Each structure stands twice: as structure tokens, then as C-alpha cells.
Structure 1
Amino acid sequence: MNKHASGVAVSISDHDLIAGSTALFAPTGPVPFNAASPPIFQTSLFTFESYSAIEDVFAGRSQDFIYSRGNNPTVAEFEGLIAALEGAEAARGFSSGTGAITAAVLAFVEKGDRIVAVRNVYNDVYCLFGKLLRKFGVTVDYVDAADPAQVAAVLPGAKLLYLENPTSMVFEVQDIAALASLARRYGVVTMIDNSWATPLFQKPLLHGVDLVIHAASKYLGGHSDTVAGVVAGSKDHIARINRTTYPYLGAKLSPFEAWLLLRGMRTLPLRMAQHMKNGLVLAERLGNHPAIARVRHPAFSDHPGKASLRGFSGLFAFDVAEDIDVPRFVNALKHVRLGVSWGGPETLIVPAQAALQLPDESNSFRRFGVVDRTIRFAVGLEDPDLVWQDLAGALAAS
């Protein structure tokens, strides 16, 4: 973002958000007792009326439920909803976003394979690649995915292209359609973390990406009370995950968490519209404040990859000026809270200066040059004037 950027054009209206998300309000199958809210099937197992009934399930002739570690009606309702929103054929829920990422990646790589990944990847993914996968001889090339030529140079021979749009902490954008086209040319499977944009603001499958991953704990749940993940894609790709990794990693989504997600997602269009409005207001004000050196917000990027985004969530970052004491600034905040994660109604910050204290082998921030004056900012649903008063006061006190 330019220091004094202004006049951001947003191409999506509240009406567009709601009208384009009718799947959020229509159940994917019959609802017992015509319940207005999807019920919870809080059971570990399902019984059968006869030998032939259970034999049909084991033989694959019936799709009846067996055991909630494998399938559950409430979880299936959530999976169907995500698939509908992403334009996917199928989806699989997990107990966390990291569980979803791990199962998806492990389903498509083997010993000796190579992954190409966007730089500034989510830190836990960086640890997954650098610690766990390294034990099995899987190597990773990190690239500036904003430069398709750099990606094309390392794609030949790779098995997987792993993307985020925008990227973690610094919010760089990529042309995901161009990257997906390159990957298809070389027979490389593409995965993208779409947690930042949600299916309302970005639909990667429409741009040629193979698999979409969400940390459903964030905007999909929307209330800071759920930890979950989900992967969406073609029937064949999801079947491969179901067959090779999902049954054995134990990262199953519980019925109660799925119910919380279904509840939260019914307000997703309204919440995302407000997150976007609040975020843009505060990004503008921060960009014009003398104590802020830079605002890292995809809305102000000139990269053509921004075209895949139909809107902007409330998560971005800003760099404070050199004369601002970061710990003093953080401690001076009264309303904005200090905490990881994002996507809930409260406004949160994470200072990179603290995150840079992670051990070297676990630190993607240090590996990719995140500066210690960067503050990740998750704008909530509060009155932006209240948040701004808090920020301005803390900056003045620092």
C-alpha cells in the first residue's frame, strides 16, 4: 500500500454477498422433524437392524453411517455446504486446519517427492514441510509466487504446488489462475489455503486450482469458539484423501464442532461484509498516520493476481515507524486484544517481534524476512471508530 493510499474500490455489495450464498440457508438433505437449525447427531456410532444391512455397508452397497470417526450426518451437512460454496464436488472435514493440510498434503506426496510452496507460508505448514516431511525425504522449494516465471522455473518434476492468496503475515497476492495453468502443464497438483478470503471472496477451483483448504476455525466459524478444518475439491481428489490419509491420522471433525460451524456460517455473508468495511476504514487511517511506515493490505496491491479476489477480509498487517516501541504500543492498547488466530468478532493483533522469537527451525517469519516492526491486525466487528481511538492512543503513547 502507498503511504497515503485512498479511494479503494470494492466491487462487491452486501446484496451480492447474500444473494450469492443461498446454500448457507438451505440444508443439503432432509432435516429431521423439519428443524429450522441443523441438528447435532452427537453419537459415536450407528447401529443396524440386520446382518444384511451391516454387510451392505462394509461391501460398499450402502452409504449408511457406521462410526463418527469416519462419517457423521452433522459433519456431512457441513462438508456438503463447503462443497456447494466452493463449487466443489466433495469436501472432507477435519478437527483443525493443520489436520486438513497434513492429510491433504500427505495424500499426494511420497518419499523423494518435491513440493513447490509460496514463501511466507503459514508457520505451521512451514514446520510440517521442514520437520515431518523432511524425515520422509520430501523436499520443498519456496518461491515468490507473485512472479509466475520464478514458479515455472522450479515446477518441472514437482508433485505439489502449495499456495496461499494472500500469503501469511505479509499479504502478498498471486495470479492463481496463471499458477494453476502452469501446474497443469507440468502435471502438478495445486492446493491453496483459502481461509483468508472464504468462498465468498475467492473461489480458487473456478481458477483451475485442484484442492481448497480452510482453517474453518477462522471466518467460517466466526465466533472464536471452534477449531476445525476442511478440504474441498473433485470427487477423485477427496476420495484419495479419504482412502490414503483421513482414516489413519485421527483428525476427524466432531459433530459438535460441525454444528458450531453450520451455525456460524449462516451469518457468514453479513460478517464478511462488515469485516471488509471495518478493515478498509482502518487500513486507510493507518496508511495516513505518521507513525505507520507501511500497510500490507491486498486491496492496495497492483498485482494482477488481485483479480481473483471479489472482496477483502479484515486481516492485514502494518509496519510501525522505527521510533515506535512495539512492546509499549501493544501494552498501551485497551480494547484491541493480543492473541493468535483471527476471524471472530473481536479485534486482535500479533506482533512479528514476538513471533520472531520462535526457534530458528520453526520460524518461517525469520526465514522469509518478516521485519520486527510488522503487526498482524485482525479487524473484528466492533465500531471501527472505537478501534481507531485505541490504536491512535497506543501509537501516541509509544
Structure 2
Amino acid sequence: MDLSYILNELGEERSDYYNAIAPPIMQTSNFAFRRVDDLGRAFEDEMAGYLYSRGINPTVDILRTKLAALDGAEDALVFNSGAAAIFAAVLANVKAGDHIVSVHHPYTWAQRMFDVILPRFGVTTTYVDGTDTANFEAAITPATTLIYLESPNSWSYAIQDLAAVASLARSRGIVTIVDNSYCSPLYQQPIAMGIDISLQSATKYIGGHSDTVAGVITGTRAMMKRIFDSEYNNIGSGIQPFNAWLLIRGLRTLPARLEQVTRTTYKVLEYLKNHPKVERVLFPFDPEFPQYELARKQMKEACGLMTIICKESTRAEIVRFCESLQHIMMAVSWGGHESLIIPRCAAIKEEHFRPAKPEHRMVRLYVGLESPDYLIADLEQAFSR
């Protein structure tokens, strides 16, 4: 299916709403019925029609249709945050006594679910180095029902061989979930590699304007229906119509934004790799990246997010660098129009800072839509301080 068709036409029946170019926001909580039998059918299957906007809403449906097509999936569900999408996707695929195999150091709220919430119900998790598929195989037990992946992750950019892990999981009847937030559907399509559920924070590249929080999962229609009928509706974490409309708006410019970000990223990367105060830069499409060949095999591109390992030996020097930036803002997340930076040492007290540990000297940089010269000049003046 053509990308331009997906972003600009798919799911949009303009004749139904006065031929408006932009779809309307169906800001309604409820839908009326003329016939009792029609209401009864809606009770039987909320996903088949419009009953109550906690579940299905026309504006959200347009977004679901587009996101599923972008992932090459049969269906999609959209949540009011990435954390909510993780929670529902995982919870739908475990029961008391089950076992999960997860990559080391997944996203904070995924790890909290594995470490704090699920153990209350007898679900255990084993963390493995996901760069070697053999580690997943070694960690599988008869109770394993789920493998949780994050490829690449958002600090070290560790990558899993998605096709290999998916094949292993399928042979054992295990469900696979991957967080695809780093790449977006334009740069990586896990469903085509055999992954069961592709997940992403739509707050990032899909929204693109740092004004909407959302999460999405895609997969088979049967899997999405099972999650919709239970976790999605029970938790009540579906996205609201206005935020869905903002994400549809974001999709219109997604290819152009990613192209601009990608071009700028390579220029900033080259500057940083040659800077005397930088020990190393981590970026999946840098030929010096340890998993460069695997990245090129399963990702179409890498853009925006890289990690600087500073040469500075004290926390105070890294703090001074970050606080000296005049245009690159210090904040979490990525994928918006603005460039952002976040130092790992923000979560490390002075007395616990160890310069011998490269991860303590990490500073993550997201390259936004500004010109490369503008960003490089800001980085240079901050380094000089």
C-alpha cells in the first residue's frame, strides 16, 4: 500500500463529513440507536460499531486504520500513553504463574510492571542480554508465555535480531512484543519479521509536535480484539478523539520530518565524533556501532537519537555542559520538532557518580528540525564552557 495513500486518504470517507479535507473531531462520549436489536448487537461486540467512546470512536478509527497499515498489521489499538499500551499488551498475555523473558533495562514503566506489579500475581521475569538470541533460548522455561523486546533501546541502542527471536518464540508457542518507538513504522516493521505485537510511543515521531501523549499496538485482528474486549476497555486507557485528531495531523508530515531529522542527525554525528571532548558517540547507523550490520539489515534508517559519552571526569562538568546549552532544551522524550538533551547523571547523586563507568558519562541527544549549523553552534559553545 502506498505510503502517501495511507497518510492522506486511507480510512477517510470525506463524503460522510461534507467533503472536509481534515476529518472532524467526533468529540462525543455516546452514540444513539433507533432500534433495540442494533443496541443489542453493539453490546455483544463493541469493536464492531460505535457504542461508547471509551472503546471505538470514528476519529480514533481513522487513526487506527492508518497506524495498522503503516505497520503492515491487520489492526491497531491506540492508548492515551505508551505506558498504557505496554501495560495492556503485556497483561493480556500473562496469567498467574507465567514467566516473561525481557531484554535488560527496558523502558522504565515496562520494568516497573515486571518488577513491582506482576510479581504480586505470581508472574516472574528474567532479564537477558538481547544482543545474542541464544540468551533468550537459554532463559525460556516451560512457564514462559511472553518475550519482551526493545530494539533499539533508547540509550545504548542495543538491538535484537527480531526475525530470529520471533522464529524461536513461535516454535515454543510464546508471544513476542517489541517496543519500536526508536524507529517508528517508517524505519522498521517488526510485524513483517514475525513479531506478534509491535508497540510504540506515538507521543514521539507520530505526534511530532510535543503536544500529545499516546501509545499504539498493532498485530493480528484476533490479538487486538482479545486485548480490546478485556484490558483496553477494562483499564479505560483508550485515546480521546481530540488527541487522535492531533496524531492524524502528525502523520501527514511524518515522512518529511523524518527525512529532515535524518539529514541533520548525520551532520551532528560527524561533528560530535570528531570533538576532542567526546569519547564516543553511540548511533545504530554509525559504522563503528557494534551491531551496525544487524541495524542495516532490519532497519531502513536510524534518525534523531544518539548518545554522547563525554570525556569529562566529574559530574559537575557534565552538568555545566548541559546547563550551558542555549537552544537545545533539557527534557525527556524525543521525536518532536525541538532538539532535546538529557544527561544520565540527572538520576545519579554526586556521591554515586563514577567516571570510570561510561554510562555515568552518557548524555542523550535528540536532533529535531532545527538546522545542523544552529545545533552545532549551540553544542560548541556549551563544550567551550
TM-score by length of structure 2 reads 0.92
| 1:40 has 2:25 as partner | yes
Any stretches of 5+ residues in structure 2 without a counterpart?
Answer: none
1:309-366 deviation line (CA, Å, top 9, x unaligned) = 0011201211100346111101111111001111101000111001345xx9xxxxx9
Matched residue, 2:364 = 376
| Partner of residue 25, structure 1 | 8
Offset of 1:250 from its aligned partner? 1.5
Task: For 1:216-365, list aligned pairs within 5 A.
Answer: 216-300=202-286, 301-303=289-291, 304-306=293-295, 307-323=297-313, 325-356=317-348
- Matched ranges for 1:65-214 at <5 A: 65-157=50-142, 158-214=144-200
- Look up the equivalent residue of 1:24 and give its one-letter code: L
Going from structure 1 to structure 2, the CA distance change for 1:29 and 1:294 (only over 3 Å counts) comes to same
SS in 1 for 2:205: coil
Tell me if structure 2 keeps the 8 A contact 1:212–1:232: yes
- Higher RCO structure (Cα 8 Å, ≥6 apart): 1
Q: 1:186 to 1:156 in 2, by over 3 A?
A: farther
For 1:294, give the aligned amino acid: R
Are the aligned partners of 1:155 and 1:183 in contact in 2 as well (CA < 8 Å)?
no
Aligned partner of residue 200 in structure 1, secondary structure = helix
Contact 1:21/1:85 (8 A) holds in 2: no
Secondary structure in structure 2 of the residue aligned to 1:380 = coil
Counterparts of 1:343 and 1:179, CA distance in 2: 27
C-alpha contact (below 8 Å) 1:120/1:168 kept by paired residues: no
Equivalents in 2 of 1:193, 1:205: separation in Å?
A: 12
Q: Deviations over 1:112-161 (max 9, x none)?
A: 11111111311121112111112112111111111111121112431111
1:21: how far off? 4.4
Q: Percent identity?
A: 42
Distance apart, 1:302 and its partner CA: 4.5
- Counterpart CA distance in 2 for 1:179 and 1:370 is 29
Partner residue, 1:6: none
Pair 1:29–1:20, CA change in 2 (3 A): closer
Offset at residue 63 of structure 1 (A): 3.1
Contact 1:120/1:170 (<8 A) preserved: no
SS state of the match for residue 202, structure 2? coil
CA distance in 1, matches of 2:267, 2:118: 41
2:76 corresponds to which letter in structure 1? A
- One-letter identity of the residue aligned with 2:257: R
Asked if structure 1 preserves the Cα contact closer than 8 Å seen for 2:47 and 2:228, the reply is no
How far the C-alpha of 1:27 sits from its partner, in A, is: 3.1
Larger mean Cα displacement after TM superposition, 245-254 or 54-63: 54-63
SS of the aligned residue for 1:116 comes to strand
Which letter maps to 1:28? G
How many equivalent pairs are there?
371
Structure-2 residue corresponding to 1:7: none
Q: Is the 8 A contact 1:21 1:269 kept in 2?
A: no
Question: 3-state DSSP class of the match of 2:100?
Answer: strand
What SS does structure 2 have at the residue aligned with 1:286? helix
Q: 1:138 to 1:98 in 2, by over 3 A?
A: same
C-alpha separation in 2, matches of 1:229 and 1:395 = 36
Give the superposition deviation at 1:294: 1.1
For the 8 Å contact 1:222–1:343, the answer to whether it is kept is yes
After superposition, the Cα gap between the structure-2 partners of 1:26 and 1:370, relative to the gap in structure 1 and judged at 3 Å, is farther
Q: Distance in 2 between matches of 1:117 and 1:123?
A: 13
Q: Distance in 2 between matches of 1:64 and 1:179?
A: 36
TM-score, scaled to structure 1: 0.89
SS of 2:125's equivalent in the other structure is: strand
